[in-house]
């Protein structure tokens, strides 16, 4: 069964360091998303990406965040200068072209710990 894969599964970094989280969406999917979940809290939307550009972003997704689809398979989330409050589980998700009729597939998540 096709799946969304994320790396790394867990990353520990020092405050102020840059972090890149990687995702490989399902191959025929066209819409890509990043969500995050701070421990014990809701799953929150960060950004959606379609046709090589950001479709929508939340207030959380400030100038410290960026997304990129550098090639035909990867979808990355970069945090330029991490803060303690960026510690969270980050989920990548993707869906097909029929965006509102099908499943939004989630990866297993990348746990980011900022010290």
Interaction site with other proteins (CB under 8 A): 31, 33, 35, 42-45, 48, 50, 55-56, 89, 91, 97, 99-109, 111
- Cβ proximity to other proteins, 25 vs 107, nearer residue: 107
* Cβ 43 to other proteins shortest distance, Å: 4
Distance CA 9, CA 99 (A): 27
* Cβ 99 to other proteins shortest distance, Å: 4
DSSP β-ladder status, 10-13 and 110-114: parallel
- Cβ proximity to other proteins, 48 vs 82, nearer residue: 48
Burial class (CB in 10 A: 0-12, 13-18, 19+), 35: buried
* Cβ 105 to other proteins shortest distance, Å: 7
* Cβ 81 to other proteins shortest distance, Å: 26
- Cβ proximity to other proteins, 17 vs 55, nearer residue: 55
End-to-end CA distance of the chain: 37
- Cβ proximity to other proteins, 19 vs 93, nearer residue: 93
What would you report as the CA-atom Rg of the chain, rounded to the nearest whole angstrom?
13
**Would you tell me how many other CB atoms lie within 10 Å of the CB of residue 105?**
18
């Amino acid at each position: 069964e096709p799946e969304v894969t994320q790396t790394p599964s867990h990353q520990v970094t020092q405050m102020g360091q840059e972090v890149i989280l990687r995702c490989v969406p399902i191959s025929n999917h066209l819409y890509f998303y990043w969500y995050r979940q701070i421990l014990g809290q809701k799953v929150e939307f960060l950004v959606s990406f379609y046709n090589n550009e950001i479709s929508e972003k939340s207030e959380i997704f400030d100038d410290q965040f960026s997304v990129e689809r550098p090639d035909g398979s990867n979808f990355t989330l970069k945090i330029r200068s991490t803060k303690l409050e960026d510690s969270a589980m980050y989920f990548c998700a993707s869906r097909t072209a029929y965006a509102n009729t099908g499943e939004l597939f989630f990866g297993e998540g990348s746990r980011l710990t900022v010290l």
